[in-house]
Amino acid sequence: MQARGYLNDVEPFGKGFALPRRIEATCTGSELPYGVTLAIVLSNQKKLEVETLSAKRLPGGPSVTSEGIRKLPVAQMVRAAALRHLLKVDGQARRPARLSPAELPPASVVAEGGTSDNALEWIALVYRLAHACGEGPTKAVMDAFGLSRATAGRRVDAARGAGYLGPATERRAGG
């Protein structure tokens, strides 16, 4: 997926990270029946909201239909675009720097990292991104790192205890 964002208007997104307030992304891939363009905004409630979505027929591909649009994995596209535009905030740097894909640790490294600061930082980020996209955050941690539900829950609690996530609100995910 290709995406472009605006680095001059960013919002903190948890400990050590930031996101542009507006992201424009063009999504293509073998799993998508169309070329899709999204405009995503980061709301004041730290939710990633799709402002516009357009679908374009690919050469030799199926025509754009309402059924095809309903099958688009919008939350996955939003999460992928946000991850591609994620900024690492360094206390020494004057501006956040875009995180390169090479800087993202393999899932196995995070899973094996247990409750190390590095592992908890990435667990909190996956949790926060899933919450911002309206997905189940603990399930996202489970899926991203191949953890059982119980282990994912313990790691999320550890991330919360280490200050990577805010306190949980009763009957509401996130933080």
Distance CA 60, CA 95 (A): 43
Q: Starting from the edge strand earliest in sequence, which strands make up the sheet with 17-20, in order?
A: 10-12, 17-20, 87-88, 97-98
- Percent above pLDDT 70 for the chain: 83
Say if residue 99's pLDDT is above 90. Answer: no
Domain that holds residue 111: 105-161
Inside any domain, residue 59: yes
Mean pLDDT of 128-143: 91
What integer is the mean pLDDT of 106-123? 83
Domain count along the chain: 2
Same domain flag for 109 and 84: no
Quick check: 106 pLDDT over 80?
Answer: no
Do residues 115 and 91 both lie within one domain?
A: no
Task: Judge if 51 and 119 occupy the same domain.
Answer: no
Shared domain check, 120 and 62: no
Same domain? 86 vs 112: no
91 and 127 in one domain? no
pTM of this prediction?
A: 0.77
Note whether residue 14 is domain-resident. yes
Spell out a b/e string for 29-48, using b for 16 or more CB atoms within 10 Å of the CB, else e.
eeebbbbbbbebebeeebeb
